[in-house]
Amino acid sequence: MKIKWAAIVIVGYLLFSAFMYYYLFVMSTGDLPDIYKGTSADPSTFLSEKERSLSGDFSKIKNLLFFLSTPLEWLIYFLIVLFGLSHRFEKWAKETARITFLQTSIYLFYLSVFTFAITFPLQYIGFHFSKVYNISAQTFSQWMKDEWIDFWIGYGLMMILVFVMYELMKKFKKRWWLAAWTLFVPFTIFLMYVQPIFIDPLYNDFYPLKDKQLEAKILSLADQADIPANHVYEVNMSKKTHALNAYVTGIGSNARIVLWDTTLNKLNKDEILFVMAHEMAHYVKKHIYIGIASYLILAFIGFWLIAKMMERLINRHGEKLNVTNIAQLRTLPLIFMMISMLSFVASPFSNVLSRFEEKQSDAYAIEMTGNKTAAISAFQKLAKEGLSEVKPPLLVKIFRYGHPSMAERIYTIETYPLKEMKEERKNK
């Protein structure tokens, strides 16, 4: 029976992978809709033929790796439980320590190292192609340093979450999911609060913006938007990437306005001011808090669904999987698998909300700066430097894009009725 189940899921994964390859490399022609042709959203107006070719090839590779890596997680977690490896991890952890917290930590370490090793080849392939296409500026050792930071931060946070969750499973056999979600809410908000101060600096160096004239202009925009900011931070991303970015992060008193140095180096001041106005709009429109609220609502539904699915799975197939109740540590890979699946299923909905917020922010930035030329050239440069996909295939947009495509954004700005709206306001 185990061999049969393993064969079914492996063949299913291979068939899915083959379909996604065919969809991305054969079915998706990359043709630009007629509405964008000849406008500033047309890649031929701001990208050379070579750049368009590189952008298309790089995007296909990135998208394929995404669609390969996500179901690969599900496959790995399922096989770990199916063939008893999770049971062995649990047994070794209990033989090593008597304290429950240490048992959980040891078990999670075995599981984390094993899954990291199995998924590492795909991660490395992604890094390799980002180097080939001149997006990444990192050496292999620098990239591995970030990977290890990711590993240990993830391990440390999961150690706390997993221990608490399994203790709740033992105490509240039926309603553990509700208790877990109740504690998950303040934990998530706390993490959002401390991330800009304690977590982000582990990856990069943050320092006040060196260009004080530009900082004054940005802070003036922030003042117009009622954003309580005294400094604009610069981060030295040029040692890691050639792509451009800026963002407003954190909540409460820890909110930060951050510019990548690559953005400072490659955009002019008007373009930077548009980008910063866009990022400030997320703060003004409360997108950060809307994002937290929607994430917590989805987490509530997710906890409930996982509890129901795990109960049904154990009742029907527990004997085959060597699982008698959900509070056994060996069930953790199944829970991780379900979390990943539910996140994937929910991603189209969260992406729709995110794209709506991005459109709001673009409109806000246009209204604030009144400079459509700078906005268009900023997006064109963002697409050029990051080899962004100007018009992605439908499935890619649905599952991957939290932003409108570059073609949509640039065309929307070009056709934005800025003068007409200003005249209407004057007449009123």
The residues annotated as belonging to the active site are 279
Query: Scanning the structure block, which residue is given the tokens 């004997």?
Result: 319
Q: Fill in the DSSP letter of residue 256.
A: E
Contacts of 209 (CB under 8 A, 6+ apart): 215, 218, 231, 232, 233, 234, 259, 264
What's the CA gap between 224 and 216, in Å, rounded? 12
Contacts of 412 (CB under 8 A, 6+ apart): 359, 362, 404
Reading the block at residue 397, the tokens are 């947009």
CB 369 within 8 A of CB 278: no
Reading the block at residue 61, the tokens are 């590779």
Helices in 172-211 by DSSP H: which ranges?
Answer: 176-194
Q: What backbone phi and psi angles, to 5 degrees, belong to 248?
A: -110, 125
Q: Fill in the DSSP letter of residue 241.
A: B
